[in-house]
Structure 1
Amino acid sequence: MKETDTYKELNPKALYQWIDEKRNFTLIDTLKSDSFTRRHLKNAVNACVFEVTFVDQVNAITDDMNSVIVLYGASKRSFDAVTAAEKLTQNGYTDIYILKGGIEDWLSEGFFLEGEAVNETYDPQTVLTLEDGSYKIDTDQSIIEWSGRNPTTTHFGTVEIASGQIIVTNGIITGTFDINMDSIQNKSLEGDELQPVLIDHLKSDDFFLTKIFPTARYEINKAEPVKEPFLSFPNYGISGNLELRGIKAQQDFMATITKTPEKNLMVEAHFDIDRTKWGIIYGSSRFFECLGIHMVFDLISLQIRVVTN
């Protein structure tokens, strides 16, 4: 049995013996309620460690701070039960055990579970897998947020994605999406009389020259998954070309790709572009002298959210 200042560890055989001996303890499943419904240990109750009310849920189960509590999670790789033990210790519970290896090790010892789908293939939902196909971009849910700066101010706003598609072939992504540059909006000056002035400036030949180049395009030449494509961390390296103001230049970035509950794709990315690569040199001290208050930093920050349908 492993011991720490926070909890003690029980291996599956020891916990099975406790259950067989009908020892007095509370067995708590720390996973989501739907996971608990699908499969759980016999006589376990559920308190989801991912919810802000977790400690309140445990208090409703037992408010005796000296009661014996056994927590379990998904596997030895998952920090669910350990996190639950830390939360309970911080809130006064004193006699906490953890099932070593969670449900995974419990099953490997040949012990049974209860629930509505105990034979269902377990998906740990940690890394991304993509099905081959062509995914059309949902322009109502997709947006680009931009942020530009000078020494004293940060301006930010949005620009719309007009159309596009993502193609997946054996895990490799290609595709294109068009950006409606004439839709550029500013949010930082909402309610200020200078807001339309800034928008007109951004649309002018000083910046994006939307009268002549109303559309920009990003072409994904090749996007590949990283070695371990975790769902909550940038998991794809995207290589491609951005065509802006009639100039095409390479722009690579990392993106986090996940799947929505409807099995559509959601792509999230945050990166900077050097606007001067596309001939947008207004206010750049690399091209002008004595700018004073007209200096504008060369990098524009983009936050892209693309959702397919």
Structure 2
Amino acid sequence: MKKNILKGVAASAIILTTLAFTTMKKEVNIKESSVTWTGKKVTGSHTGTIKLKSGHFNVEDGKLLGGEFVMDMTSINVTDLTGDNKLKLEGHLKSDDFFGIENHPTSKLVITNVSKKSNSTYGVVANLTIKEETHPITFDLKWNENSASTSLTIDRSKYNVRYGSGSFFDNLGDNTIYDNFDLEVNLKF
């Protein structure tokens, strides 16, 4: 009888320990979330959106541990132009000159390391893959119970997106497109 009680206590302790340290996936609501991009050139800038295909955070005991996000590159949308100009720029961004969506329909961000900076801010290290090129990036993530947000600056030239880049082509003048583009990310879960 004592053996059965001890076995029951031991089994209960193991189960409670396992439950207490279980990592859970916190799925992102892709319809309620938004990613807005801004690309700049010598003569101005353009803005638009891109949709998430999927995304989740790994959370343990309310603490952020990691996550993974897939962007739908086929959804690149220009929001500051209309008509033919809008369609022309969207087509160009989707072409091999830029993101080559026919061969690279998705991009991926995988969080590899997280450190808490304050009650609502995490320092994040992640691997970003665009056009089969993967490079580490760092950013701060604002974290709330049902949402997260961040601002990212990405150097497109690291991902073989070189069109109009003064880093690779000389004498572009007013046609130079800056290598860095910005993302404003607002996630809901």
Identify the TM-score tier after normalising by the shorter chain: 0.7 to 0.9
State how far apart, in whole Å, the 1-side matches of 2:64 and 2:86 are.
42
State how far apart, in whole Å, the 1-side matches of 2:88 and 2:64 are.
43
Q: Does 1:182 align with 2:74?
A: yes
Q: Which residue matches 1:205?
A: 96
CA contact (8 A) 2:57 2:64 kept: no
Look up the SS of the partner of 2:178 in the other structure. coil
Q: Which residue matches 1:158?
A: 49
State how far apart, in whole Å, the 2-side matches of 1:206 and 1:223 are.
34
State how far apart, in whole Å, the 2-side matches of 1:147 and 1:137 are.
23
Look up the SS of the partner of 1:287 in the other structure. coil
Q: Which residue matches 1:301?
A: 182
Q: Which residue matches 1:121?
A: none
State how far apart, in whole Å, the 2-side matches of 1:289 and 1:200 are.
25
TM-score (normalised: structure 2): 0.84
Q: Which residue matches 2:126?
A: 240
State how far apart, in whole Å, the 1-side matches of 2:76 and 2:33 are.
14
Considering only CA atoms, is the larger Rg found in Structure 1 or Structure 2? 1
Report how far residue 163 of structure 1 moved: 0.7
Which sections of structure 1, spanning at least 5 residues, go unmatched? 1-130, 260-264
Residue 159 of structure 1 aligns with an amino acid whose one-letter code is I
TM-score (normalised: structure 1): 0.52
Runs of 4+ in 1 over 6 A off after TM superposition: none
Which of 15, 29, 32 does residue 138 from structure 1 map onto? 29
Q: Which residue matches 1:281?
A: 162
Report how far residue 143 of structure 1 moved: 1.6
Question: Deviation string for 1:159-189 (max 9, x for gaps)?
Answer: 0001121111252421101100000000010
Report how far residue 132 of structure 1 moved: 5.6
Q: Which has the higher contact order (CA 8 A, sep 6+)?
A: 2
Which of 119, 122, 136 does residue 250 from structure 1 map onto? 136
CA contact (8 A) 1:172 1:222 kept: no
State how far apart, in whole Å, the 2-side matches of 1:133 and 1:221 are.
16
**How many residues are treated as equivalent by the alignment?**
167
Q: Which residue matches 1:290?
A: 171
CA contact (8 A) 1:138 1:306 kept: yes
State how far apart, in whole Å, the 2-side matches of 1:183 and 1:221 are.
26
Look up the SS of the partner of 1:248 in the other structure. strand
State how far apart, in whole Å, the 1-side matches of 2:130 and 2:151 are.
18
Residue 295 of structure 1 aligns with an amino acid whose one-letter code is T
Which of 139, 142, 150 does residue 269 from structure 1 map onto? 150
Look up the SS of the partner of 1:297 in the other structure. strand
State how far apart, in whole Å, the 1-side matches of 2:84 and 2:55 are.
35
State how far apart, in whole Å, the 2-side matches of 1:257 and 1:205 are.
35
Look up the SS of the partner of 1:252 in the other structure. strand
Q: Which residue matches 2:8?
A: none
Look up the SS of the partner of 1:219 in the other structure. strand
Look up the SS of the partner of 1:194 in the other structure. helix
State how far apart, in whole Å, the 2-side matches of 1:245 and 1:282 are.
14
State how far apart, in whole Å, the 2-side matches of 1:212 and 1:193 are.
25
The RMSD of aligned alpha carbons is: 1.5
Structure number having the greater strand percentage: 2
Percent identity between matched residues is 28
CA contact (8 A) 2:42 2:175 kept: no
CA contact (8 A) 1:221 1:241 kept: yes
Look up the SS of the partner of 1:273 in the other structure. strand
Look up the SS of the partner of 2:68 in the other structure. strand
